[in-house]
Structure 1
């Protein structure tokens, strides 16, 4: 229902800065494609590839796929060719794409903050068992990600997803990528506002809409009405963050221009108040501004963050209002940032008297079988549903108090603990070289081994220290905003051999004190010495911290010797 206080006015033109050279901005008259990606999207709307997958490629097999579809438009259907086994990280930037391609696909299934019933969780599990060699990972985009998918099986997978109310549509590509929603929307006792309707409406109106299937690059959305800002709003292209206006009550602020990768930027806060029913319209206005004014010449500068950085937040909001929304948004101070983030792990009371329970697979690695087991427990204990989180975790919603203790025991039994160690709770990892064509090093297995070793060395760690492990510079695991961020690259060991290793970022954070981790000049760690390096840094922190001092705050004042883990050379290994 429209809010009568916010009646649209006819759009009016806003004078925008003209770049010194053509950047491929449609609204400035630069409509001819300036690179192969733009040409491919102009040649054929990527949404049209769905029909070819269903009626041609799935019937004729992998060799029938047009390369322009295979390495381009398939992404709009949530499909990437996965990395051919046996190719080391040194070849990642050397080989052509077709040389890296396996004949199998990674598939991303979007959840968009939805509450997943036990039947839906079971469907996700059986897809992994039947078609993906029992793979299934929980990603930090609240997706389920499969591997080893055959093109012949895609129609049946899509049918099962449709039946379960899910989709892989626009899970990748230059499109509105999967949304991040609060895992505890509608149930948390301290929630400011429930944004569930807005995310559902954005999906209903705009996903699969050709008006938004050709954006300059990926476009990531987050929305939360929880005061902990539990969707990492600082690192998304567009975020709606719960706030309270002194006169109008609960609504959302607008944050735009966040993104990491090789040129990280934190989102800028608009300081506005948006009622729930207007959120989809504002989303459309922001996406339209990006579509029409975003830079399309260079892929490396095509994210929304570059446009926002060049224009400034005031000019960006002015264009959104005047050219697309047709009204001025109510101004109000942005909400205060919380300390750290809320992952919702453990047992928490809901506002209706039931409980929600956050559980922690290690670095998001689950399996089809494990999801089926989880669905069985959800049925056995009458759990209302599950949501995926932006931290590669799962939250069970609507647990009855009398069922709690036996449920916790059974979750421990299948390996999904609601009582994890600090290390298991706070470590994330991207897909890595096991399947990703962009990766340089192993991540999932290395991170799991790291967690196990740190649990042995620091079994009673009394504070949260986040460790984010990424296989390349693209920062899918949010390397720069972790306490310990590890960016995969090839490094030289003591004998001069090129081996897997990591550039280290220390002291990154979101929330209050949001910042990017500190990098030390020429400081890299081999994968083999990672356990000892992290041990040395954490040991120094525990010895030097003041009362209540966080790891990130300690990093700011710590000397380089401690941050470089020089105790490692002195035999810190346990």
Structure 2
């Protein structure tokens, strides 16, 4: 029987001396650091066009700068897992603009709007990780896009790939009347020290960070690879509780607490230590087991903390308290609310994060007229205009509503989100964005007085970019058989999930066609309202409801 050491070496862990690549992705990264592709894009590919791109760069290293080929139009979902990558590729790209902490000023917002209109056919989607994604980008225009973005302090470096991706932060950091700590200095410090740093540009898989002192806990620390959560220790010091190893996809796991109190000045060292553990001890043999959550699941938080302190920090961290729960069920910042300085912020909801270049210009103009020009994105595909005088909040809300940007949205508009879907994504099986927008309109029409908190998350494939397992109603796109025996777009249904609570449960045979989706959601919500106890949440009701009430 192989020893424990041999089994671990078989996972390709660098720290155990095993550096030979065990799959094509690892071989590609060993051959050339993904950060080096920038120069080739500028000097070769932008000049030679799409056909000049090396396949290893096209479907690998381009991600280190936020570039993915789009799905070629006209390929149905049944072909997603059948066709080779080159058959799925279009000659256009999705480009992800990295917005750490969701923070944008007027120049930045207007620059993204201009880039969208000039180079991306007006497209712009706000993601659930605070980025803005553009589509229809041609390789010839990428250097000009970078130049425009970088002139206002934005970039796409490590927006994708096996890298430390965008750092989530509360859009109200520094102004929220209730926040435990303003995490902005630590977020910027980690970004400036480590993003684009070759020390961390070859991780086993993607690596997601959250850092916030928000009492709404809007950065969803429970499902990030590493998260710093604002807490106050017994001595009255504000700092962070550290969570490690969260992630969803096809094998969801919640992060685990290390039980350590991290002072603000220690945050960058702790981040680098945990990221270093992932780089050195992370599993590199199988891509589907390469996320940090698998290492944490095998080690446990006690061993993980011990390795962090002894091998990476060189000092012991103090023990610290756990954070309390979020201040309410809706972990977002929609609506009109007071800031700590007496001014107000106005959070508004586009439908499932979909906007466009012209609308971004409108939002920038309104932020300039009514606020200080600061506009921040959220982890729920929403936006917030900051620093609005109280007497001007209603006028701003009316202006936003006139552009279908709802400040006081229905539950369905406020809490439905959708991933990119088959329109652009090569992994998707079904359409999501338009489906989500249509679902919102139908539910608002059919259930106009439904106002309980309820999340509906729509995903085009099993990878859970839209967090289906943590939604009240999570919809995983797949082909299903309709009443006529034909294969059509549809969804497997997950019910009763919540972030930090339980993952949604799957009921045997519970699927719906896309066409029947509004009927299904209406039916289950009417059953909920009929059968719930006073004050009972949807997730709690699901756990005790009869199967027939859930179908």
TM class by shorter-chain length? over 0.9
- Structure-2 separation of matches of 1:115 and 1:392: 14
- Judging changes above 3 Å, is the alpha-carbon distance between structure 1 residues 20 and 45 closer, same or farther for their aligned structure 2 residues? closer
- Pick from 76, 97, 100 the counterpart of residue 112 of structure 1: 100
Corresponding residue for residue 401 of structure 2: 412
- Judging changes above 3 Å, is the alpha-carbon distance between structure 1 residues 20 and 137 closer, same or farther for their aligned structure 2 residues? closer
CA drift of 1:264 comes to 0.3
- Structure-2 separation of matches of 1:290 and 1:254: 15
Alignment of 1:184-333 (within 5 A): 184-333=172-321
Say whether residues 1:560 and 2:541 are aligned partners. Answer: no
Task: Give the conservation status (yes or no) of the 8 Å contact 2:223–2:255.
Answer: yes
- Pick from 142, 150, 153 the counterpart of residue 165 of structure 1: 153
- Structure-2 separation of matches of 1:390 and 1:193: 19
Over residues 297-321 of structure 1, what are the superposed CA-to-partner deviations in whole Å (9 max), with x where a residue is unaligned? 0001000000000000110111111
- Structure-1 separation of matches of 2:265 and 2:338: 28
1:177 partner SS:
strand
- Judging changes above 3 Å, is the alpha-carbon distance between structure 1 residues 260 and 114 closer, same or farther for their aligned structure 2 residues? closer
Q: Could you tell which deviates more after superposition, 373-382 or 128-137? A: 373-382
Corresponding residue for residue 531 of structure 1: 518
2:101 partner SS:
coil
Over residues 143-180 of structure 1, what are the superposed CA-to-partner deviations in whole Å (9 max), with x where a residue is unaligned? 00000000011011101110121111100000001111
Alignment of 1:88-99 (within 5 A): 88-99=76-87
- Pick from 369, 374, 391 the counterpart of residue 402 of structure 1: 391
- Pick from 442, 445, 457 the counterpart of residue 453 of structure 1: 442
Task: Give the conservation status (yes or no) of the 8 Å contact 1:411–1:417.
Answer: yes
2:336 partner SS:
strand
Corresponding residue for residue 521 of structure 1: 508
1:95 partner SS:
coil
RMSD: 1.1
Corresponding residue for residue 68 of structure 1: 56
Corresponding residue for residue 550 of structure 1: 537
Over residues 278-300 of structure 1, what are the superposed CA-to-partner deviations in whole Å (9 max), with x where a residue is unaligned? 11110000000000000000001
Moved over 4 A (4+): none
- Structure-1 separation of matches of 2:164 and 2:211: 14
- Structure-2 separation of matches of 1:63 and 1:161: 26
2:207 partner SS:
coil
CA drift of 1:21 comes to 5.9
Task: Give the conservation status (yes or no) of the 8 Å contact 1:108–1:146.
Answer: yes
Corresponding residue for residue 121 of structure 1: 109
- Structure-2 separation of matches of 1:420 and 1:152: 40
2:19 partner SS:
coil
- Structure-1 separation of matches of 2:118 and 2:361: 12
Over residues 67-114 of structure 1, what are the superposed CA-to-partner deviations in whole Å (9 max), with x where a residue is unaligned? 000000000000000000000000000000000000000000111115
Over residues 408-434 of structure 1, what are the superposed CA-to-partner deviations in whole Å (9 max), with x where a residue is unaligned? 111111121211111000000000000
CA drift of 1:384 comes to 3.8
Task: Give the conservation status (yes or no) of the 8 Å contact 2:371–2:386.
Answer: no
- Structure-2 separation of matches of 1:405 and 1:296: 53
- Structure-2 separation of matches of 1:330 and 1:18: 34
Structure 2 length normalisation: TM-score? Answer: 0.98
Say whether residues 1:136 and 2:124 are aligned partners. Answer: yes
Corresponding residue for residue 431 of structure 1: 420
Q: Could you tell which deviates more after superposition, 88-97 or 411-420? A: 411-420
Q: How many residues were matched structurally?
A: 547
- Judging changes above 3 Å, is the alpha-carbon distance between structure 1 residues 498 and 190 closer, same or farther for their aligned structure 2 residues? same
Alignment of 1:28-67 (within 5 A): 28-67=16-55
Q: Could you tell which deviates more after superposition, 517-526 or 92-101? A: 517-526
Task: Give the conservation status (yes or no) of the 8 Å contact 2:364–2:373.
Answer: no
1:74 partner SS:
helix
Task: Give the conservation status (yes or no) of the 8 Å contact 2:416–2:456.
Answer: yes
- Structure-2 separation of matches of 1:58 and 1:272: 47
- Structure-1 separation of matches of 2:170 and 2:332: 10
Q: Could you tell which deviates more after superposition, 112-121 or 341-350? A: 112-121
Task: Give the conservation status (yes or no) of the 8 Å contact 2:102–2:170.
Answer: no
